[in-house]
A and B are shown apart, each in its own frame.
Chain A
């Protein structure tokens, strides 16, 4: 759980056709904010934080999220999704080092 890049996506196992479900995502990531030395000078180094996220349903892009360094460490995001067909939800996060983290969840029709 505490490993960097661990993505936990929560969706209902099944949904009625046309039902709006709520998707919750949690990713383990430090989301480094800006840091300073004792004199208050900004430390000039690359900061590692998630700066984009894409969500696909059955391969079709349905949402993009653009976090910044003002998003908490181990960020949590939630959004609604209208399910019209059974399918696979895929979420991909990318941090500023180019590393990608992803997760997939299957949603069946009830």
Chain B
């Protein structure tokens, strides 16, 4: 965990203070070093985008990902499982499930986690195929502060479903 070179030690106290002052909240796309793709996997042939998401408002994130299409937020259709209270924002377990799994040939094309009050709300994206787009995905995410967590599901017919829950964060985990 602590193999970052030439870094001042991040003590827990300092970390908390930084997180608490919203320090985790600034743009830095240009600082990220993306190496050229490795030869053994032809990433270009696969679905998905690999850029670092920008620091932006949550509405901008939704617009960037899905355009002006309406997301139908419905707890009756999408079950988002998150803790009510997260002691540690650095590891927040989340799970998303479609209560009525799509019947083939319909499948889930994409599931995106969006965390409203992280500076970069776009958190993780799954791009499925027919074999895997059955309406479930899970991930452990970071949260900088108490926020709404959304999961947005894109079906192969273009419909957008979603669900959101509030998660109270006690110790911020710096949402990048």
List A residues at the B interface (Cβ < 8 Å). Answer: 4, 20, 22, 24, 30, 32-38, 40, 42-48, 51-52, 54-55, 57, 60-82, 92, 94, 96-98, 100
The A-contacting residues of B in range 146-176, CB under 8 angstroms, are: 173-176
Give the residue of B3, B33, B41, B128 whose beta carbon is less than 8 angstroms from that of A47: B33
Known: A34-B28, A42-B26. A98 touches B38 (CB 8 A): yes
How many contacts between A and B, using CB within 8 angstroms?
Answer: 181
Q: Is the CB of B120 within 8 A of A69?
A: yes
> Does B134 count as interface, using CB distance less than 8 angstroms?
yes
Give the residue of A42, A63, A65, A82 whose beta carbon is less than 8 angstroms from that of B28: A42
Q: Is the CB of A92 within 8 A of B126?
A: no
> Does B140 count as interface, using CB distance less than 8 angstroms?
yes
A54 to B132, CA, bound (A): 12
Known: A30-B4, A98-B35, A100-B40. A79 touches B26 (CB 8 A): no
Q: How far is the CB of A94 from chain B (nearest CB, A)?
A: 6
A48 to B140, CA, bound (A): 18
Known: A37-B8, A62-B129, A65-B125. A73 touches B46 (CB 8 A): no
Give the residue of B5, B14, B129, B136 whose beta carbon is less than 8 angstroms from that of A61: B129
A46 and chain B: residue at smallest CB distance: B33
Contacts of A66 in B (CB 8 A): 48-50, 124-127
B52 and chain A: residue at smallest CB distance: A68
Known: A37-B8, A76-B139. A51 touches B90 (CB 8 A): no
Q: Is the CB of A33 within 8 A of B142?
A: yes
Q: How far is the CB of A105 from chain B (nearest CB, A)?
A: 15
Give the residue of A22, A44, A46, A71 whose beta carbon is less than 8 angstroms from that of B123: A71
Give the residue of A4, A30, A47, A54 whose beta carbon is less than 8 angstroms from that of B32: A47
Q: Is the CB of A71 within 8 A of B46?
A: no
Most buried by A among B21, B47, B124: B124
Q: Is the CB of A72 within 8 A of B7?
A: no
Q: How far is the CB of A92 from chain B (nearest CB, A)?
A: 5
Q: Is the CB of B136 within 8 A of A22?
A: yes
The A-contacting residues of B in range 18-48, CB under 8 angstroms, are: 18, 21, 23-24, 26, 28, 31-38, 40-41, 43, 45-48
